[in-house]
């Protein structure tokens, strides 16, 4: 019985200590929240099938967050980013065309056609160097060109920032994404890059086939074999597979190739950047994901349809010193006695495979659509 006062005292002592700890920690919390004017943005994972692999880098100072992506999506569809408030990124990068458009050369804010075909924005997470000639490294840096370019959106960052500052709808999103409402060049680049990294297309029929939930038709199966070059096929013996340059399941590898379109170059391609003869007419090999949606084709949009593209690889490869060594054989180059054309069946099979790469979910995905429309 004599123990109970001791127990009471010890309970009191522990209670006091506990209260003190709670008080101190709540003060510490209060101090923290005064430092940070907004809660930390929420990191979101970029999800994709394992067969895409992880050969990519996201800058350490620009992790992908829910808030950053939401802001980036607004900016992507924001016409105030152009000098005359007439075009946004989405004017040329339209979702229904896998974030490309249907023109050979898109028109800038001033109505001037671009010098090269608008590239589709698909699976950019795996792209290291941007544009047809790979001149810019990283999405954050890529964004500057179309925003500022005289014949694209034609507006300085100072101009863009001034316009966005007058729009109340941007205060909260900038604060949520970056901690305070300041609008800076760095933050505009980062938010747009975050949004564009989420544009992942991985639910085409071909993905469903790879994941075992779709049974290809005989023609599609033949196309897969031709594209990836099954060594048992006759065609493999006379031609390299398309996937030699167009990669594995992603149908993308970062390569620059001269694919025999010309021998005299209106557009020097990568040579314009490097000054090297061997880079003449060399362009970045594009992903074929959603290729059926992104006509016209090539850097200058010269081919209107996929059958025209297949005809090129079948019969019109022009020899030149810079021609890709993988296309430079007597069987492939046009006009040689040894030349071998694709058969009608092979063309149909390849076309069937290319159509398998269309991801209708990607072009209807609400997460990528115009936020100003869906709000209405």
Partner 1 sequence: MKIKLPILESSFFLLLFCTISPSQAQVNSTPDTSSHNKIVLSISGEVNQPLHLTLTALQALPEHSITVKDKNGAPHQYTGVYVQDVLSKAGVTTGHELSGENLSKYVLASCADGYQVVYSLAELDSSFVQNLPIIAYKIDGQPLFKNKGPLRMVMPEDKKPARSCFQLQTLSVHFAQQ
Residues of this chain that interact with partner 1 (CB under 8 A) are 129, 134, 253-258, 274, 276-279, 282, 284, 319-325, 328-330, 333, 336
Residue 347 C-beta: closest distance to partner 1, Å? 23
Q: Which is nearer to partner 1, 260 or 301 (CB)?
A: 260
Residue 290 C-beta: closest distance to partner 1, Å? 22
Residue 54 C-beta: closest distance to partner 1, Å? 13
Task: Residue 90: name the closest of 198, 192, 202 by CA.
Answer: 192
Residue 113 C-beta: closest distance to partner 1, Å? 28
Structural contact between residues 342 and 310, judged by C-beta atoms closer than 8 angstroms: yes
DSSP-assigned letters across all residues of 251-311:
S----EE--SS-SS-SS-BTHHHH--GGGTTBEEPPP-TTGGGS-SBSTT--B-SHHHHHH
Q: Which is nearer to partner 1, 90 or 257 (CB)?
A: 257
DSSP 145: H
Give the distance, in angstroms, between the CA of residue 288 and the centroid of all CA atoms in the same chain: 12
DSSP 136: E
Place of tokens 């829910």: 66
Residue 142 C-beta: closest distance to partner 1, Å? 17
Residue 133 C-beta: closest distance to partner 1, Å? 11
- Give the three-state DSSP class for 351: helix
Q: Which residues of 53-68 are buried (b: 16+ CB within 10 A; e: fewer)?
A: eeeeeeeeebebbebb
Task: Residue 93: name the closest of 111, 116, 119 by CA.
Answer: 119
């Amino acid at each position: 019985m004599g123990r109970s006062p001791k127990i009471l005292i010890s309970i009191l002592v522990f209670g006091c200590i506990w209260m003190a700890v709670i008080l101190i920690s709540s003060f510490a919390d209060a101090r923290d929240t005064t430092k940070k004017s907004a809660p930390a943005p929420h990191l979101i994972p970029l999800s994709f099938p394992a067969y895409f692999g992880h050969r990519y880098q996201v800058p350490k100072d620009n992790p992908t967050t829910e808030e950053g992506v939401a802001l980036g999506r607004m900016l992507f569809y924001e016409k105030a980013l152009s000098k005359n408030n007439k075009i946004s990124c989405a004017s040329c990068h339209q979702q229904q065309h896998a974030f490309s458009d249907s023109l050979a050369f898109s028109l800038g804010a001033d109505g001037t056609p671009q010098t090269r075909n608008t590239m589709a924005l698909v699976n950019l997470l795996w792209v290291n160097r941007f544009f047809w000639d790979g001149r810019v490294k990283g999405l954050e840096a890529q964004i500057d060109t179309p925003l500022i370019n005289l014949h694209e959106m034609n507006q300085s960052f100072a101009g863009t920032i001034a316009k966005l500052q007058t729009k109340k709808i941007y205060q909260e999103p900038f604060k949520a994404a970056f901690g305070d409402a300041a609008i800076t060049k760095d933050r505009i680049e980062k938010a747009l890059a975050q949004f564009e990294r989420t544009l992942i297309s991985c639910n085409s029929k071909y993905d469903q086939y790879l994941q075992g939930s779709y049974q290809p038709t005989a023609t599609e199966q033949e196309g897969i074999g031709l594209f990836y070059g099954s060594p048992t096929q006759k065609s493999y013996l006379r031609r390299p597979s398309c996937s030699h340059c167009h990669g594995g399941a992603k149908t993308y590898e970062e390569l620059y190739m001269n694919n025999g379109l010309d021998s005299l170059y209106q557009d020097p391609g990568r040579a314009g950047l490097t000054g090297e003869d061997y880079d003449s007419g060399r362009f970045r090999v594009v992903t074929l994901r959603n290729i059926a949606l992104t006509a016209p084709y090539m850097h200058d949009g010269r081919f209107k349809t996929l059958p025209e593209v297949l005809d090129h690889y079948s019969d019109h490869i022009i020899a030149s010193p810079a021609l890709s060594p993988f296309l430079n054989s007597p069987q492939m180059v046009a006009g040689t006695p040894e030349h071998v054309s694709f058969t009608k069946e092979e063309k149909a099979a390849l076309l069937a495979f290319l159509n398998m790469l269309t991801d209708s979910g990607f072009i209807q995905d609400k997460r990528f659509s115009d936020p100003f429309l869906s709000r209405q």
